[in-house]
Amino acid sequence: MRFLSLMPGRGPLGLAGLFALMMAGPGLAMEFATIPVDSACNASECRRAVIAEGEITRDAPAKFAAFLRQELQRPGLHAIVFLNSPGGNVESALQLGSLIHDAGAAVVIGRPTLLDAQRQARRRAGFGQVGVVPGHCASACVYVLMGAKKRVVPEGARLGVHRMSARMWRADPAGGRTQGERIYAGSSEVNALRQYVSRVGGSQDLISLAESVPHDQIRILSSNEVRRFRLGAPSL
C-alpha cells in the first residue's frame, strides 16, 4: 500500500468558519515525519510510514500535502499514518481526513517503535521491524481517523469525543477590554460534518454522541464503542 499523489485542497466542506474542536488547553502544532518500517533502507529506496503528532492547526493540511510532495520524490513511502493528537481545528481535520481517505491510507493510533529481533520474530509480516505504542486521539482527531481506509486502534489506545465549540474574542465597547464568549456549532456545521462522515464511511451515531458531551469534558470511548462506531480494529 503506497501513497498516491496527494495535493492540498479545501476538502469536502469549504467552510472557513467551521468551529475549532479542542481539548482543554493548546498543544504543539502537528508535525509530520517518516519512519523506516524495516532494515532494507538504502540511498535509492526505503520503506517508510508517516508519523503525524500534535494539535491540528489551520495550516496542518497544507503542511501535510507539502510534506508528502517531498517524501514522494523517493520510492518506498507506504500509506500508513501513525497518528497522535489532542484535537484541533475541525475544518482542518476534515481536510486531513479527506486527503488520507482519497489516498486509501491506513491510520494507526499510536507511536511507532523499533522492535528487537526476538519480538520481531513473533510478529506477522506487515509492519516489518516497527511495533506500536498505543496513543491517543481526541476531539477533531477522531474525524481524521474516520477518513482512513483502514482504522487501527491498538489495545490501550484512547479515543475521546466532545461537543464542537469555539471561543470568540471581542472588545468590550464600554471598557475596551477583550472578552471571550463560547459559541457552539449550529445545524449547518453539524450537517457539513455529517456529509463528510457519510463520504468516508463513518458512523453518524458517533456525531450524535460527541455533540451530547459538554465542550469542557472528554468522553473516552470503550473498546465496544470503538467497534460499534467503526473506528478501528486492534491491528492491521
Which tens digit of pLDDT belongs to each residue from 23-72?
334 568 999 999 888 766 776 778 889 999 999 999 999 999 999 999 99
Cα dist from 155 to 8, 53, 134, 152, 233, whole Å? 33, 19, 7, 10, 9
The yes-or-no verdict on residue 137 having pLDDT over 80 is yes
Q: Evaluate whether 26 touches 128 at the Cβ level (below 8 Å).
A: no
**How far is Cα 46 from Cα 18, in angstroms, rounded to an integer?**
38
pLDDT of 14 reads: 35
Cell numbers for 61, please give them: 493540511
C-alpha cell, 190: 453539524
Task: Reduce the secondary structure of 98-110 to three states and give it as a string.
Answer: HHHHHHCCEEEEE
pLDDT number for residue 22: 39
What is the average pLDDT across 119-146? 76
Residue 235 pLDDT: 76
Output Rg (C-alpha) for the chain, integer angstroms: 18
Helix residue ranges per DSSP H, the chain: 60-71, 90-103, 117-122, 141-146, 187-200, 204-211, 223-228
DSSP 94-151: HHHHHHHHHHT-EEEEEEEEEPPHHHHHHSPSSSTTEEEEE-EEETTHHHHHHT-SEE
- For residues 187 and 180, give the distance between their C-alpha atoms in angstroms, rounded to a whole number: 23
Helix/strand/coil for 62: helix
| 150 band by pLDDT with thresholds 50, 70 and 90 | very high
pLDDT of 84 higher than 90:
yes
Model confidence pLDDT, tens digit, residues 191-214: 889 999 999 999 999 999 998 988
